[in-house]
Amino acid sequence: MELNIRGFNASPATICLCIGIPLAACLFLVSNLPSLRLQTVLQGGRANQPGGWMGGNTQVLRRAYGTPIRTVPGPWYAKLTQLWLKKHTLAGRRMHYVHSLHEKYGPVVRISPSEIDVSDPAAFKIIHRINSGFLKSPWYASFRTGDTRDLFSMTNPKQHAERRKLFAPVFSNSALRKNWHGEVAGKVAVAVGKIKADAATNGGGEVDIFKWWTYMATDVISQLAFGEAFGMLEQGKKTKPMQKIEESIKFGLISSELPLLCRILQWVPLKAVQDMVNANELVQAHAEATMRRVRHDSLGASNIFSRIVAEQEKGGGRLSDYDVAFEAGGFIVAGSGTTAVTLTYLVWAVLSRPAVQARLESEVAGLEDGFTDVDLEKLPYLSAVIEETLRLYGAAPGALPRTVPHGGATLGEYFIPEGTTVSTQAYTLHRDKASYAEPERFAPDRFLSATGEFQPTQAVFCPFGAGSRTCVGMHLAFMELRHGVAQFFRECKGARLSAKTTPASMDMANYFLIGPAADQCWVTLG
């Protein structure tokens, strides 16, 4: 038997040596008994000593019951330990676990000694409105190793606003359509061609679309970020830069959830572990080398970051090559898996519903050759299908943790003291029965008016985050989604799900982003 976590394969022996033993030590000493000081354990601390066993138990009880959030409903063990939350997080089931707690306990639920989760739409707006004072929690900083911060991991609102102001113009709809529409449409066309060719060479016409959507989205964002694609569509496999990025993501996830384990892993003398530990540095080195070529004009102005460097230097500022490269790496991480996941679930959802498939195929068949993104945006049913997919299967539907500001806040019926971590998750908000009729049903018509025009919902809808921290690459994602949907359902009309693709294989695994449990989605063409 082997363990496979989003592409990471390991034998049981390797798991035990690399992760099992260090993880057990971390969970016992730090993660789930935060009041026990390591030196106290090593010294055999006594019950009557400060920081000893009695002192540790007292602190645990104080955190559980000596706080205003003691009245927030939730399972009894959530008051005492993070153990269950960590377990579900590491198993890729956090959002499902938290959703089940909301179903049992209501819209405000305590999920750990110092964290609550909120699914009340009114409270969501309080937390995520611009200038709310609810800042990103320290979790975001721990996701990226080292001291440098990018748009995703910055917690200081002033620094984030300054950096976002630099990036927002090049990621606007108008700028993307002017400068990058051809790149996006071209890469999508290649991907759909590869899907058809792959199906033709396989017995029965089967093809894994998740694989090809991942290659497409990665080549798009690497082309835009670095001025050269990683070449995954061309080679039909994950190239070395992408392999390093995946290793970097794995290490970031471990770092954010079990920081002590990361420090232990640095000393594990196994190549697979060291590749993961050092992956971020290798990604950074690749990005910096590309930025040096940008500055020496060997790539000219053929990428987004060369334009950003030029614009900010006009204003007298200067980001270092390291800073720009760090942002570029972050954009590739964010822009590859997200779009691929959404396209995969969209195709799966549509092929599972013949009436939806027929209506969508009919609409895109009416497009003239050479259609543009503007043309696609005018298609109401295509827009509704994308919107409904983002509601149920958006790529990042899990926790958006924030820190309660000075003075505390009242959320729903409960006063939450300052410093408490408050999370919200789109997975639950998008399934709110008061906001969406039959919320578990895939129904694109809910986003259409009585006259058949596309009509955005007035309910909470946050597949790209919310407020000032909304994803800056949202318009690029929509462009890729529109072209992916239109080209696939024009070129692959009549596609159907393979017998390999089942509800179980498409169950959403949640490691910050979601993905099919099987890491595949097979369809049959022809």
Ramachandran angles phi, psi of 262, nearest 5°? -60, -45
Out of 47-51, 239-243, 495-499, least confident range: 47-51
Q: Which residue has tokens 């006063």? A: 415
Q: Three-state SS for 118?
A: strand
pLDDT score for 50: 42
Q: Which domains does the chain have, with CATH numbers?
A: 114-524 (1.10.630.10)
Confidence bin at 297 (pLDDT 50/70/90)? low
Q: Which residue has tokens 């080195």? A: 285
- 152-159 long-range contacts (CB < 8 A, ≥24 apart) are 152/330, 152/334, 153/330, 157/468
Distances (CA, A) of 308 to 15, 167, 174: 43, 7, 16
Contact 422, 118 (CB under 8 A): yes
The two three-digit tokens of residue 237, written as one number: 């496999």
- Bigger pLDDT: 327 or 216? 216
Confidence bin at 522 (pLDDT 50/70/90)? very high
Q: Residues 359-391: pLDDT tens digits?
A: 999 999 999 999 999 999 999 999 999 999 999
All residues at 6 or more sequence positions from 142 whose CB lies less than 8 Å from its CB, including other chains: 255, 256, 259
**Paired residues of 465 in beta bridges:** 463
Out of 173-177, 220-224, 293-297, 486-490, least confident range: 293-297
State how far the Cα of 231 lies from the Cα of 524, in Å rounded to an integer: 25
Q: Residues 120-138: pLDDT tens digits?
A: 999 999 999 999 999 999 8
pLDDT score for 15: 43
Average pLDDT for 56-72: 78
Q: Which residue has tokens 């790529």? A: 395
Q: Which H/E stretch holds residue 210?
A: helix 209-226
pLDDT score for 87: 92
State how far the Cα of 60 lies from the Cα of 254, in Å rounded to an integer: 24
Alpha-helix residue ranges (DSSP H) falling in 133-208: 139-143, 157-167, 173-179, 181-201
Confidence bin at 316 (pLDDT 50/70/90)? low
Residue 419, number of CB atoms within 10 A of its CB? 11
**Paired residues of 509 in beta bridges:** 515
Q: Three-state SS for 139?
A: helix
State how far the Cα of 485 lies from the Cα of 191, in Å rounded to an integer: 12
pLDDT score for 9: 47
Q: Is 471 annotated as a binding residue?
A: yes
The reported pTM is 0.87
Distances (CA, A) of 507 to 87, 213, 224, 389: 18, 18, 31, 14
Alpha-helix residue ranges (DSSP H) falling in 27-172: 38-42, 53-65, 83-90, 94-105, 121-128, 139-143, 157-167
Q: Residues 88-97: pLDDT tens digits?
A: 998 999 999 9
All residues at 6 or more sequence positions from 239 whose CB lies less than 8 Å from its CB, including other chains: 230, 231, 232
pLDDT score for 55: 54
Orientation angle between helical segments 321-351 and 380-393, nearest 10 degrees? 110
Q: Which residue has tokens 């049913």? A: 381
Contact 22, 31 (CB under 8 A): no
Contact 434, 128 (CB under 8 A): no
pLDDT score for 452: 97
Out of 31-35, 388-392, 401-405, least confident range: 31-35
Q: Which H/E stretch holds residue 243?
A: helix 240-257
Tell me the average pLDDT of the chain: 85
